[in-house]
Chain A
Amino acid sequence: MTELPRLPAAGGCRETPILKQRGQREVFCGLTGIIWLHRKMQDAFFLVVGSRTCAHLLQSAAGVMIFAEPRFGTAILEETDLAGLADAQDELDKVVDELLARRPDIKQLFLVGSCPSEVIKLDLAKAAERMTQRHAPSVRVLNFSGSGIETTFTQGEDACLASMVPVLPKTDERQLLLVGALPDVVEEQAIGLLEAMGIGPIKVLPAPRAGDDLGIGENTVYALTQPFLGDTHDALTRRGARHLPAPFPFGEEGTTQWLAAIAAEFKVSPDLFEKVTAAPRARARKAIAQAAEALNGKTIFFFPDSQLEIPLARFLTRECGMDAIEVGAPFIHKGLVGPDLDLLAAGPTISEGQDVDLQLDRAKAAKPDLTVCGLGLANPLEAEGLATKWAIELVFTPVHFYEQAGDLAGLFSRPIHRADLLKLEGTA
């Protein structure tokens, strides 16, 4: 197999005490995941059962009106629905009938719970069951919660994928399952590399269409492509599938380790592994090196956002020469990001959850060269002279695997490069 990663001499961050503060959080709720999930699953519709705030969030997060008629919408609760729950179920039936009549192309309908629907305890599981019977076999209706009282940003995708696992048919076939909604181009690259090693059959969750023959069982092994899929991981384990833990496939090193974990499971020879990965690895290293020039020796501070923070900190410190000051994540699942924590050299503060005002105080005191944060904080920090990288772009941009490793580094070097480039003062 390939060479083992150099472990940090002073130890990794797995045992570093985690700073947990309780205060205002400045994060999206899980509904936001619908923005990319509805593009990935082409015959699915996401119906949020919530308030005008939910509809407004989706619209604002999507950048108003990207799609003429999107495959998502909000059933807005009104005063009358709040009076009695029986009514709300009937009303929901009406909305869904109307929707399915207008969009016969829909094969999967997700009823998505929100803060208000959770608080009034509107039983969407019951609704989904009833509707599945009513609209079978043409439409399958599932439910999950994207509410801000239970989920943070990318946890919405996790909840969605987890809701799909129990209804997958059983199969005893020996297969590899890749889990996580990736842009098509990236997904195809990963499959291409694995197939070149003779690994197969390879399935993907979420599948682009409901009818795609995806089953699961005890001979299924799976690799997660995103670090935020904790509930999906549990659901897959319950179906008897086995997880292949590895660092996440960001950067050359992460991708290699991720592929190596799968290759080991499928007993791929070191020669073949080397043959398949040598060229893309070299390309990735070269591309990273270009972007890393601007990043080398620079400090970075992560506000919690997408749960990608720990794997990205590992990539930026080990492959781009950056120094992490604080790595904040909304939620740390050591079962998933443990291998990344092992590789991340001890030193940075590791924080989970947040009190945004206290965290801003720390960031301002530390004066990092680059701050990774949400859109609500970016311009205010820029105005104080701190270069920032919007975290949401990391979820909307193809950044996984070898061919995107340079782009990933570029996302971080661009704000620093830009700050150097602009000459906005006179020279006198």
Chain B
Amino acid sequence: MKLTVWTYEGPPHVGAMRVATGMRDLHYVLHAPQGDTYADLLFTMIERRDHRPPVTYTTFQARDLGADTANLFKTAAQDAYDRFKPQAIIVGASCTAELIQDDPGGMAETMGLPVPTIPLELPSYQRKENFGADETFFQIVKALAKPMERTKQITANLIGPTALGFRHRDDIQEVTALLSDMGISVNVVAPMTSSPADIARMGAAHFNVLMYPETAESAARWMERELDQPYTKTVPIGVGATRDFIAEVAAISGNEAYLDTSRLRLPWYSKSVDSTYLTGKRVFLFGDGTHVLAAARIAQDEMGFEVVGMGCYNREMARPVRAKAKEMGLTATITDDYLEVERVIEALQPEMILGTQMERHIGKRLGIPCAVISAPVHVQDFPARYSPQMGIEGANVIFDTWVHPLVMGLEEHLLHMFREDFEFHDAAGPSHHGGHARKPEDGGGPAPQPAASPRSLSGKMNEGSVIWLADAEKELKKIPFFVRGKARRNTELFATERGVAEISVDTLYEAKAHYAR
């Protein structure tokens, strides 16, 4: 039993719903109690879908238990087929139905429905949403895709995009354009946009583009083995990764590598002098493995940030994320415990978080700017405008998104110079964020405060019981908020290491000199 406040991933049947809802002419019959229908609103509200997800829930109640839940399932499956006439049906159980062991897959098989019926085994008490999506897509592909003659022209399948995916809608368009520029057309995009009939003709493509390992790696491996289709290992998020992706596609397809960079702005924007202020910004990365790995490379090589911590919530990606962290001299945080992520961020005091909507909330609390790079999604992650993460435009979008929460270069200096100004103090926050103001009690600490109280102690006593004298505390406040957390931490560390119990102004500057290498 594990105490959980917030979760990064839903249960595995929600992953199956993401696959089913992304597809057309497929129906999901889910053995589940009525409350599980809440999942519909994820799609209709967060993603603003204009159709109900293609899911029939059996919605059994307490009085059905032990009586005829099995019959209820059969009726629901038959009704769903009669009403929706899908090309294929997937069947499974949610967490509660798993406990009553009705075996929906077995029952559906005996019903003799005139379309393929694909049973799903998604262990709700062990696995989570991404596994559910990956396994569901794999089972659908395994059941429907067959070896067949290749298309005459070189074609690829794009695999991995699902409903409720982080920018999947726009990434499809971007990757399609990258391939098209190289003379490669798209055979099938799946699961999103495809029907079961489309899945059946996936074998005609020459290779697969694995867009999101979280949701399609099992299918990619199976197709490599059974359909003899290689798949791409590079996820084209960021400039370098996009170039590597193009090279990989060229190697697989035999077509000449080509990348139209006429619209690519990230490299120049990053080199231009205004971006000097991005140098060495201390960032913390957290999200799903794929987006975190991509973000680590962009942060370090394309933005000039310093990555001070990284991690992912999906254990399936722990190995590559750990390896990447080690390469950067860090230890990865692999956890789905939101409170643990918060503790790590609090300890690291980064200047920016690149995370999920959950970390955005942590950032709000701690006064640390945050840009969102990964699911779990929020209604804000489905903007009306074209906003991919992949390819050329994806790189441009990422530059803008990451820079936006930060204070601009000159503004940063002005805030430093006119710290005592009643309107232009650092607690007022970046000028381009209307109506935003940090709460005075937040970690970064506010500038305008009454003079230190006679107690002359900082309210904050750290573990080593180092005390900040009033003058030092006041001096600390003069340091701009975006580095104040780091200065406080370094000074306390410096004092503790030397057995200094009270921090004076001198200690503060001795620490500054010590760390200024």
Contacts and interface: CB of A to CB of B under 8 A. Distances in A.
A73 B5 contact: yes
A369 interface: no
Interface of B: 1-7, 9-11, 13-14, 33-42, 44-45, 48-52, 56-62, 65, 76, 79, 83, 94-96, 99-100, 123-126, 128, 357-358, 361, 365, 376, 378
A148 B10 contact: no
A98 B4 CA distance: 12
Interface string A1-38: 00000000000000000000001111111111000000
Contacts of B99: 82, 116, 119-120
Given A95-B1, A148-B36, A379 B49 contact: yes
Nearest to A78: B125
A116 B95 contact: yes
A68 B79 CA distance: 43
Contacts of B52: 376-377, 380
B1 A60 contact: no
Given A24-B56, A61-B38, A53 B11 contact: yes
A79 B33 CA distance: 20
A53 B61 contact: no
Interface of A is mostly: helix
Contacts, number: 178
Given A26-B37, A78-B2, A150-B62, A357 B79 contact: yes
Contacts of B39: 60
A218 interface: no
9 contacts: A51-B11, A52-B4, A53-B96, A55-B6, A76-B1, A149-B33, A149-B96, A357-B79, A376-B52
A25 B36 contact: no
B100 A94 contact: no
Contacts of B6: 55, 59, 64-65
B1 A115 contact: no
A27 B100 CA distance: 21
Given A29-B33, A116-B99, A149-B60, A60 B42 contact: yes
Contact of B44 (A82, A94, A375): A375
B325 to A, nearest CB: 26
B100 A119 contact: yes
Given A24-B57, A77-B125, A119 B1 contact: no
A254 interface: no
Contacts of A49: 1
Interface residues of A, number: 61
A226 interface: no
Contacts of B96: 51, 53, 115-116, 119, 148-149
A34 to B, nearest CB: 12
Nearest to A90: B1
Contacts of B62: 118, 147, 149-150
Interface string A33-53: 000000000000000010111
A330 to B, nearest CB: 9
A86 B365 CA distance: 40
Contact of A53 (B5, B36, B59, B358): B36
A57 B38 contact: yes
A56 to B, nearest CB: 4
B376 to A, nearest CB: 7
A352 B437 CA distance: 49
Contacts of B36: 29, 53, 57, 148
A81 interface: yes
A376 B79 contact: no
Contacts of A77: 1, 125
A32 B76 CA distance: 25
B357 A148 contact: no
B125 A65 contact: no
A74 interface: yes
Contact of B40 (A26, A55, A95): A26
A186 interface: no
B1 A27 contact: no
A148 B62 CA distance: 9
6 nearest A-B pairs in the assembled complex, by CB-CB distance = A29-B35, A148-B35, A376-B40, A383-B50, A91-B1, A115-B96
B44 A51 contact: no
Contact of A65 (B40, B100, B357): B357
Contacts of B38: 28-29, 32, 57, 60-61, 376
A207 interface: no
Contact of B65 (A53, A82, A116, A149): A149
A69 interface: yes
